[in-house]
Structure 1
Amino acid sequence: MTEWTTDRIPDQRGRVAVVTGANSGLGLVTATELARRGAHVVLAVRNTDAGAEAVRRIGGEAEVRELDLASLASVRTFAAKLAADFPAIDLLMNNAGVVLLGPRRTSADGFELHLATNMLGHFALTGLLLDNLAASREARVVGLSSITHKNAHLDFDDLMFERSYRAAPAYGRSKLATTVFGIELDRRLRAAGSPVISVLAHPGLTRTNLTPRAWEHRGRVGRLIAWGGLLATQSVEQGALPQLRAATEPDVQGGQFLGPSRLWETRGQVTDVRAGREAADPAIGKRLWAASEKLTGVSFL
């Protein structure tokens, strides 16, 4: 197996790439590499000050725009302005995510915050930008999954964890929903004969700022747990390779799922991986799609 590195990213000049959550972590690495190869990169972020600093670090053709995925009003405003400015969009990287501990929290629309940010906001954004993506000759949507999706379950009678909430299962559920969405999006794009493809990737266990932030309210013990756990993970540059390959390799196909190759997909070079059984179930995909349309008010395909 030949190792895939950023040296294999082809020329991106003339392409428009939108990366959510691009001011730090995996998103920042992804935006940096895309801009380095000549893409015009839109950093879609909630914190525009952090986004502006990221743009200064990235250089090249990069700009920052405000997007709060936990607010459907923000998603609609962002998508409308972006669609007007860029009639054709070549890449939508649905990268942003939250990892939370502590009590249950909700979004501006009353949704459990993991599901709102990690999946429902991206579902609405994808639908609102689909016409612009379809205007590109080789557009793709890349969804960021997680190995946690394989142990999660979608309870359609309590999607928002209103009955009994635990943070870790809620995060896993949001990543399962993300994975189901990516696979079902591929099915529907194929059925519609769309030129857009849907691809999934996951970073394995990667050192990002999400885990320490999630534990910091737990005091000294929580911080020790967080930083101790990070010692067992791979670098953010290595963790970003699956999504960069999904975003840029010419031979990537719709429905492909890329992740690390070693130690139960926790680390290593990029390879094809398999989604969990529930994620790949067409009946689950159809049901989640219908629920997502109802919750977000965005219908497509």
Structure 2
Amino acid sequence: MSDSDLSTRTVLVTGATSGIGLETARQLAERGATVLLHGRITEEAQAAADNLIATSGVPAGRLRTFAADFSRLEEVETMAQRVAAEHPHLDVLVNNAGIAAPERHTITADGNEIAFQVNFLAHYLLTGALESALTSEPGGRVVNVSSSLHRTANISWADPNRARRYSRLAAYAQSQLALTVFAADPRVTAVSVHPGVCRTALLPLYAHEGVSPSEGAAHVVRLCDPAVEIVNGAYYDRAERVDPAPSATEDRTVKRLNKLADLLVGHTS
């Protein structure tokens, strides 16, 4: 992995308060990047920043904190407006925030199945809102922290909320497939990465054992480095570029998903 200096880079990491997100933020900041830490609430984001300052010696001036509950799309829009206003140029957006779908079928106040909204729709909305910041100069990129479980999924186009037949594993996998498909959207250069099975809150979905969040984060950070060339829509399993599920790069699927996502986030024309 390259250890090149990232002091000219500004990176927003969603879900940066624990697990892979926190370790991604740590590694980026240690290499000099200005890191925008997103947390569900202000106190959690600030606690993450304080943690990095105390344990890594990262200067406080290299960290910024932002808050939005991704189960509330209005909060995502408000946060995006603040990020764009304060950082009109953004080098990288790491779409990392994620939850395991709950045992019980759960619908957000916006009317969407919660895992589909938190893991995909909120990131779809955020990425679109930050498009101008990410494309203000050449080289802006998006890194979607996806999952190998996207290969087991299908998008239930007629019932994306899976109200008729709910399975938490199917709902989670659907959200990861959507996030992987979204990387092939041509508006912003983006890739997806499965960081490996890590010891995080999502571990029970995968296995009983996993690698450290720091090891998983290293694969995310590598893709944030401008020295690493990327191709729009590429998918990585840890450090290796591999083909995603066949549907993930189909032009028809990308367009269909964008249309569905626009509808569900309220961006109908």
> Do both proteins adopt the same fold according to a TM-score greater than 0.5, normalized to the shorter chain?
yes
Q: What corresponds to 1:199 in structure 2?
A: 191
Give the superposition deviation at 1:74.
Answer: 0.4
CA distance in 1, matches of 2:229, 2:115: 29
- Alpha-carbon deviations, 1:201-226, whole Å to 9, x = none? 111211112346x8xxxxxxxxxxx9
User: Secondary structure at the residue paired with 1:96?
Assistant: coil
Report the alpha carbon displacement of residue 136 of structure 1 after superposing the two structures with TM: 2.9
Q: 1:58 aligns with which of 52, 56, 65?
A: 52
Q: Partners in 2 of 1:279 and 1:139 — Cα distance?
A: 22
Structure 1: unaligned runs, 5 residues or longer: 190-195, 215-225, 261-269
Q: Aligned partner of 1:35: which letter?
A: A
Does residue 219 of structure 2 align to residue 242 of structure 1?
Answer: yes
Tell whether the 8 Å contact from 1:243 to 1:258 is kept in structure 2 after alignment: no
Superposition CA RMSD, Å: 1.8
Matches within 5 A, 1:138-157: 138-157=139-158
Is 2:132 aligned against 1:131?
yes
- State the AA in 1 paired with 2:231: G
Is the 8 Å Cα contact of residues 20 and 216 (structure 2) preserved in structure 1? yes
User: How many residues get paired?
Assistant: 261
Alignment of 1:1-301 (within 5 A): 4=1, 8-59=2-53, 60=59, 61-183=62-184, 185=185, 188-189=186-187, 196-211=188-203, 229-231=207-209, 233-255=210-232, 256-260=234-238, 270-298=239-267
Give the conservation status (yes or no) of the 8 Å contact 1:119–1:175: yes
Quick one: distance in 2 between partners of 1:9 and 1:160?
A: 42
Of residues 125-134 and 102-111 in structure 1, the stretch that sits farther from structure 2 once superposed is 102-111
Q: Distance in 2 between matches of 1:68 and 1:136?
A: 29
For residues 110 and 143 of structure 1, the distance between their equivalents in structure 2, rounded to whole angstroms, comes to: 24
- Normalising by structure 1, what TM-score? 0.82
Distance 1:250 1:108 in 2: 41
2:56 match? none
With over 3 angstroms needed to count, the CA separation of the structure-2 counterparts of 1:294 and 1:101, relative to structure 1, is closer
Q: Secondary structure at the match of 1:240?
A: helix
How big is the shift at 1:299?
7.5
TM-score, structure 2 as length reference: 0.91
- Work out the CA distance in 2 between the residues paired with 1:18 and 1:175: 20
Unaligned runs of 5+ in 2: 54-58
Q: How far apart are residue 235 of structure 1 and its match?
A: 1.6
- Structure with the largest fraction of helix: 1
- Cα pair 1:144 1:201 within 8 Å, conserved: yes
Distance in 2 separating the partners of 1:198 and 1:141: 4
Give the greater-gyration-radius structure (CA): 1
Identical positions, percent: 33
Task: Assess if the C-alpha contact under 8 Å between 2:15 and 2:39 holds in 1.
Answer: yes
Letter in 2 for 1:297: G
Counterpart CA distance in 2 for 1:71 and 1:15 is: 29
Q: Give the Cα–Cα distance (whole angstroms) in 1 for the partners of residues 4 and 266 of structure 2.
A: 37
Work out whether residues 145 and 192 of structure 2, in 8 Å CA contact, stay in contact via their aligned partners in 1.
yes
One-letter code of the match for 1:181? F
**How far, CA to CA, are the matches of 2:159 and 2:82 in structure 1?**
34
Q: Is the 8 A contact 2:41 2:67 kept in 1?
A: yes
Q: Does structure 2 conserve the Cα–Cα contact (< 8 Å) formed by 1:95 and 1:144?
A: yes
8 A Cα contact 1:246 1:258, kept in partner:
no
The 1-side partners of 2:235 and 2:218 are apart by 13
1:88 touches 1:132 (CA, 8 Å); kept in 2? yes
141-150 vs 58-67, greater mean Cα deviation: 58-67
**Following the alignment from structure 1 to structure 2, what is the Cα–Cα distance between the partners of residues 44 and 164?**
33
Contact persistence 1:258–1:271 (CA under 8 A): yes
